[in-house]
């Protein structure tokens, strides 16, 4: 996959000199990140380094205090309308799936399109079935999330985001709450999504996944992006000592 051609297109996410604090605690320090359409970025780093907080800032689940975040031309400010608009454009997949347990799989998928995008119910259901097919669980449409395995739930969660037809997908450690035998089925879905050119930012320690789909891999530590590179170079020839230490621990 060629990163060169992609950087010509205009950026879909621009983060400039962004800082965030939790109280007195400086979680994110001077983050600068530009993501182009169709680009796929994998972020890794030790626990507590601020990876989740960073991607949660992109759809304003967390508020940043300094700097700018612009998503698809919309700057994230206190303006609720803008925030809601950005959120419809940005899909998010969580570590713990966060499916709505009181709704069936199908209802989980159609909720956003029907209430946010005002899609007619029939059409929303068609789209939902299409994406369920895509994540290969169409036969579970009428079940409740509690009746599915972790891997199936995470695939439903991915389909739920896709039903909103997002321009960007954020993944926060989508496989780390799964039993090992279910990791692959979720990664496969993500890989096929990548093949179709979806813009993705993935927090993950799945190095195989990073190598096969990422344009860039970033290493975060202590609230900063310490190092970034193409996957090949990143894994074989890390520059920073902290990156080296981290990679030696997880590989």
Ligand X SMILES: Nc1ncnc2c1ncn2[C@@H]1O[C@H](COP(=O)(O)OP(=O)(O)OP(=O)(O)O)[C@@H](O)[C@H]1O
CA distances from 223 to 23, 26, 111, 150 (A): 15, 7, 35, 30
CA–CA distance, 165 with 217 (Å, rounded to integer): 25
Q: Which of 31, 49, 90, 157 binds ligand X (CB under 6 A)?
A: 49
In this structure, what DSSP letter does residue 146 have?
G
Q: Does 23 bind another protein (CB under 8 A)?
A: no
Which tokens go with 92? 């998010």
Q: Which of 12, 13, 27, 156 binds ligand X (CB under 6 A)?
A: 27
88 binds, among ligand X, Mg ion, another protein, none (CB under 5 to 8 A by kind): another protein
- 105 with 142: CB under 8 angstroms? yes
Q: Which of residues 73-112 bind Mg ion (CB under 5 A)?
A: none
Q: Which of 41, 52, 127, 135 binds ligand X (CB under 6 A)?
A: 52
Q: Does 50 bind ligand X (CB under 6 A)?
A: yes
CA–CA distance, 100 with 77 (Å, rounded to integer): 28
Long-range contacts of 78-81 (CB under 8 A, 24+ apart): none
Q: Which of 79, 100, 232, 250 binds another protein (CB under 8 A)?
A: 100
Q: How many CA atoms lie within 13 A of 10 on its CB side?
A: 4
Parallel, antiparallel, or unpaired for β 224-229 and 66-71? unpaired
Residue, CB closest to ligand X: 52
Contacts of 245 (CB under 8 A, 6+ apart): none
Residue, CB closest to Mg ion: 52
Q: What mask, x for binding ligand X by CB under 6 A, covers residues 124 to 153? A: ------------------------------
> Which segment (119-127, 140-148, 201-209, 212-220) binds another protein by CB under 8 A?
140-148
Q: What mask, x for binding Mg ion by CB under 5 A, covers residues 33 to 52? A: -------------------x
CA–CA distance, 234 with 10 (Å, rounded to integer): 25
CB of 43: closest distance to ligand X in angstroms? 9
Burial, 179: exposed, middle or buried (Cβ in 10 Å; 0-12, 13-18, 19+)? exposed
Q: Does 82 bind another protein (CB under 8 A)?
A: no
Q: Does 49 bind another protein (CB under 8 A)?
A: no
Q: What mask, x for binding ligand X by CB under 6 A, covers residues 158 to 197? A: ----------------------------------------
Residues that bind Mg ion (CB under 5 A): 52
Binding residues for another protein, rule: CB under 8 A, are 59, 61, 80, 84-85, 87-88, 90-92, 94, 96, 98-102, 111-112, 115-116, 144, 146-147, 157, 160-161, 164
């Amino acid at each position: 996959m060629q990163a060169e051609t992609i950087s010509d297109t205009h950026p879909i996410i621009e983060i400039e000199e962004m800082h965030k604090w939790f109280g007195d605690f400086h979680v994110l320090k001077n983050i600068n990140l530009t993501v182009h359409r169709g680009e796929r970025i994998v972020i890794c780093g030790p626990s507590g380094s601020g990876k989740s907080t960073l991607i949660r800032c992109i759809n304003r689940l967390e508020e940043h205090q300094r700097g700018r975040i612009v998503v698809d031309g919309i700057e994230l400010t206190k303006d609720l309308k803008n925030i809601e608009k950005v959120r419809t454009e940005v899909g998010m997949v969580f570590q713990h799936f966060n499916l709505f347990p009181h709704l069936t799989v199908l209802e989980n998928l159609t909720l956003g399109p029907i209430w946010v995008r005002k899609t007619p119910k029939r059409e929303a259901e068609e789209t939902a079935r299409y994406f369920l097919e895509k994540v290969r669980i169409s036969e579970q449409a009428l079940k409740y999330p509690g009746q599915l395995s972790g891997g199936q739930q995470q695939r439903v969660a991915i389909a739920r985001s896709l039903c909103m037809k997002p321009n960007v997908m954020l993944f926060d450690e989508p496989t780390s709450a799964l039993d090992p035998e279910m990791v692959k089925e979720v990664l496969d879905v993500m890989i096929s999504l990548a093949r179709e050119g979806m813009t993705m930012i993935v927090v993950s320690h799945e190095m195989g996944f990073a190598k096969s789909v990422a344009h860039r891999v970033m290493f975060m530590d202590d609230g900063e992006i310490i190092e970034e590179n193409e996957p090949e170079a990143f894994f074989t020839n890390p520059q920073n000592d902290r990156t080296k230490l981290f990679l030696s621990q997880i590989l």
